[in-house]
């Protein structure tokens, strides 16, 4: 026993010499009384790289000997709270350090004191992070624009911003167009601004602090500035006259008015704008009338005076053929693509007499009543070509007379932009009202459908019944229980759902009887005396829809150069492809393209060839806020949405 004690004493004496780091010199080591710390046992073990971090409040653990004799610990000179102290273990918390917030960790000194309260037995460099929790703006863009221009502030913790000051005009948080932790967007607000170009400071408020957004690089605000304009004494304009006004930033002008009448903007350039007095101006008595000229610009429209009084001879000039200035297609982009079903706005002169339009010889329905300077029509789905091509457009007026309105590039399929859907939940307790209002998308209708409308309008009556005998199993149609007309009468629809493992999937209608019921209606329960989330029926949906991630050449779909709805890839075989961290045939990520096959009645099962497609669609996942993209799992509270664009074909096969 004496020999063992001797060896133990020698071992501890050598160990303490190695374990004590940077402490005061000791001529003798008192194994039984002096505390000693092994620096290699520090946890968490931080360094300047920041790969492992400690923060204010982090509990530090370290091992050694006689640590129950430690009197106190300081970090960067501040007392640390000791949470545990035994012979072998010492634990304490990082105190509230008086250091500025930054990304990189700070080096601080950690000091551990002996029982006398004065002798430092451990002096060690440690790295502590003081994270940036304040709202911080690092940049803004663009640095110039006009009223309505969307300005993006970038930084961190921007959800704390409560208002933005654009010069003397305040934009409240409720008017922000988009807010995330890293980006905040707002539109340049309407206000009384200097004509021409001016410099405007932008600041942002959060809590009790104000952030100087622009600094030395002020925002350059562009507004129209007209040169002085007048008419010679005794002169006036007539109906049909064109007049050019000069100035600065006149390319911003979106319209001009003479009194209450809209003028036709023939040309708007930076230094000149030309307008025409339309035939819609009613004759006055006397025929020469005087009214103010004003210009419209920005969004919402701002008004700038051009001339306080301008004379016009209102004598009618007689009927005239419609004159085209321009045609603009809804969601047509810079190339002004005409997609089926989209509204085309026509600007011109003498348009009130228009009775209709023809696109490649196919009649196009009017939207509303044409005015003298504006008309609208719907791109007809009756076109017979399958590849995008340039076709003639004519206007019909005054009893069927035709006037050439040039050509348009027509894409013979549908395009829907910025569709947002909530997600179904395995538990009604986490189902959101947003999901109820934005549950399903019907591409044939071009419409997002709520759970209430799905149920009340019986959009899928067989599923609503709770016992859909038309579907005999997953994605399997029983043609003996439903006719072709009945099958096609139920329009295909898509939706998203999540399960108990937080798996998020894009669901096919007939994939499972337990998918539609992940969506609910919020209705009043008389027994419970409150509104509760009530699941939709546990039944298969009727349309058979299959999906597959497009991994081979999705670029034409992603970049908008798709010209036809052809498909020669692997057949879609998934009824519920899911969000993942890596893309594969049945796993999608933000930015993925999925092909969607609406199966024919004759096939009634997963497609084996393009002839089994009644219709085809391409879905582009643009954004996912209802899940953690790093894990591929749905948010626990199911809050958020999936945003996607979609191309959808006409009927291919029946």
Question: Pick from 204, 200, 157, 156: which is nearest to 176 by CA?
Answer: 204
**185-201 residue pLDDT tens:** 999 999 999 999 999 99
Q: What pLDDT is recorded for position 607?
A: 96
Determine how β-strand 261-268 pairs with β-strand 530-535.
unpaired
Residue range 407-434, pLDDT digits in tens:
999 999 999 999 999 999 999 999 999 9
Least confident stretch, 4-8, 26-30, 257-261, 565-569: 4-8
482 burial (CB, 10 Å; 0-12 / 13-18 / 19+) is: buried
pLDDT of residue 18: 39
Average pLDDT over residues 608-624: 97
Q: What is the pLDDT of residue 30?
A: 52
Question: pLDDT tens across 364-380, in order?
Answer: 999 999 999 999 999 99
Q: Are strands 520-525 and 504-507 parallel, antiparallel or unpaired?
A: unpaired
Least confident of 88-102, 193-207, 307-321, 515-529: 307-321
Identify which of 633, 642, 640 has the alpha carbon closest to the alpha carbon of residue 502: 633
Using CB atoms within 10 A of its CB, is residue 333 exposed (0-12), middle (13-18) or buried (19+)? exposed
Residues 594-623, mean pLDDT to the nearest whole number: 97
CATH number of 2-128: 2.60.40.10
Predicted confidence band at 208 (pLDDT cuts at 50, 70, 90)? confident
**pTM, to two decimals:** 0.62
Q: pLDDT confidence of 280, banded at 50, 70, 90?
A: confident
Q: What is the pLDDT of residues 444-459, one digit of tens each?
A: 999 999 999 999 999 9
* CATH 2.40.33.20 fits domain 225-313: no
Q: Is the pLDDT of residue 13 over 60?
A: no
8 Å CB contact between 200 and 206:
no
pLDDT band at 177 (very low <50, low <70, confident <90, very high): very high
Max CA distance (Å), the chain: 130
CA-CA-CA-CA torsion for 10, 12, 18, 19, nearest 10 degrees? -170
pLDDT 10s digits, 387-405: 999 999 999 987 677 889 9
Minimum mean pLDDT among 83-97, 224-238, 296-310, 395-409: which range?
395-409
136-223 placed in CATH 1.10.8.290 = no
Please state, in angstroms and rounded to a whole number, the distance separating the CA atoms of residues 258 and 291.
6
323-412 CATH: 2.60.40.10
In the chain, where are the structural domains located? 2-128, 136-223, 225-313, 323-412, 415-648
Query: Does 599 have pLDDT greater than 80?
Result: yes
State residue 434 phi and psi, 5-degree precision. Answer: -60, -40
Average pLDDT over residues 73-99: 96
**Is it true that 2-128 and 225-313 share their CATH fold?**
yes
pLDDT attached to residue 337: 98
Q: Is the pLDDT of residue 6 over 50?
A: no
pLDDT digits (tens, 9 = 90+) for 461-509: 999 999 999 999 999 999 999 999 999 999 999 999 999 999 999 999 9
pLDDT value at residue 17: 39
Residue 128 has pLDDT above 60, yes or no: yes
């Amino acid at each position: 026993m004496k020999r063992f004690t001797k060896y133990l004493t020698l071992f501890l004496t050598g160990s303490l010499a190695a374990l004590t780091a940077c402490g005061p010199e000791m001529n003798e080591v008192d194994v039984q009384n002096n505390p000693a710390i092994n620096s290699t046992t520090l946890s968490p073990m931080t360094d300047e790289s920041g790969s492992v971090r400690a923060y204010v409040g982090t509990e530090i653990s370290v091992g050694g000997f006689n640590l129950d004799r430690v009197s106190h610990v300081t970090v960067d000179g501040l007392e640390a709270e000791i949470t545990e102290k035994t012979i072998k273990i010492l634990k304490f918390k990082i105190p509230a350090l008086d250091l500025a917030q930054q990304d990189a960790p700070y080096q601080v000194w950690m000091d551990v004191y002996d029982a006398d309260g004065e002798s430092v037995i451990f002096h060690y460099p440690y790295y502590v992070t003081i994270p940036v929790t304040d709202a911080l703006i690092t940049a803004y863009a663009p640095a110039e624009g006009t009223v309505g221009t969307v300005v993006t502030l970038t930084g961190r913790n921007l959800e704390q911003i409560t208002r933005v000051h654009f010069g003397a005009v305040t934009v409240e948080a409720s008017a922000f167009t988009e807010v995330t932790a890293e980006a905040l967007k707002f539109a340049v607000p309407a206000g009384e601004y200097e004509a021409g170009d001016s410099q405007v400071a932008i600041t942002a408020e959060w809590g009790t602090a104000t952030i100087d957004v622009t600094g030395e690089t002020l925002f350059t605000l562009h507004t129209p500035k007209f040169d002085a304009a007048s008419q010679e004494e005794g002169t006036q304009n007539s109906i049909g006259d064109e007049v050019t006004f000069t100035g600065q930033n006149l390319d911003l002008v979106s319209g001009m008015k003479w009194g209450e009448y809209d003028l036709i903007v023939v040309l708007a350039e930076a230094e000149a704008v030309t307008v025409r007095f339309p035939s819609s101006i009613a004759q006055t008595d006397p025929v020469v009338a005087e009214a103010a000229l004003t210009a419209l610009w920005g969004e919402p429209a701002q008004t700038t005076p051009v001339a306080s009084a301008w004379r016009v001879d209102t004598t009618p000039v007689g009927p005239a053929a419609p004159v085209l200035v321009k045609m603009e297609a809804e969601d047509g982009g810079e190339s002004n693509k005409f997609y089926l079903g989209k509204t085309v706005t026509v600007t011109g002169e003498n348009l009130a007499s228009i009775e209709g339009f023809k696109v490649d010889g196919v009649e196009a329905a009017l939207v509303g009543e044409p005015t003298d300077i504006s008309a609208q029509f719907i791109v007809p789905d009756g076109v017979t070509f399958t590849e995008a091509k340039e076709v003639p457009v004519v206007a019909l007026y005054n009893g069927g007379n035709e006037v050439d309105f040039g050509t348009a590039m027509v894409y013979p399929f549908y395009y829907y932009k910025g569709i947002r859907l909530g997600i179904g939940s395995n538990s009604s307790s986490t189902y959101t009202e947003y999901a109820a209002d934005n549950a399903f998308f019907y591409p044939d209708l071009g419409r997002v459908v709520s759970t209430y409308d799905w149920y009340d309008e019986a959009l899928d009556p067989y599923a609503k019944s709770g016992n859909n005998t038309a579907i005999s199993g997953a994605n399997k149609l029983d043609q003996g229980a439903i006719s072709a007309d009945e099958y096609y009468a139920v329009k295909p629809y898509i939706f998203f759902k999540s399960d108990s493992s937080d798996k998020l999937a894009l669901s096919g209608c007939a994939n499972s009887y337990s998918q539609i019921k992940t969506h609910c209606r919020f209705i009043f329960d008389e027994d419970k005396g409150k509104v509760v989330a009530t699941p939709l029926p546990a039944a298969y949906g009727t349309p058979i829809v299959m999906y597959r991630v497009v991994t081979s050449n999705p670029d034409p779909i992603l970049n908008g150069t798709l010209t036809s709805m052809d498909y020669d890839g692997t057949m879609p075989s998934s009824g519920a492809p899911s969000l993942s961290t890596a893309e594969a045939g049945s796993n999608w990520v933000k930015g993925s393209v999925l092909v969607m096959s609406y199966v024919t009645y004759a096939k009634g099962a997963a497609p084996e060839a393009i002839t089994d497609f009644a219709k085809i669609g391409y879905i582009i996942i643009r954004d996912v806020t209802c899940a953690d993209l790093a894990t591929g799992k749905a948010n626990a509270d199911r809050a958020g949405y999936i945003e996607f664009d979609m191309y959808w074909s006409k009927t291919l096969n029946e």
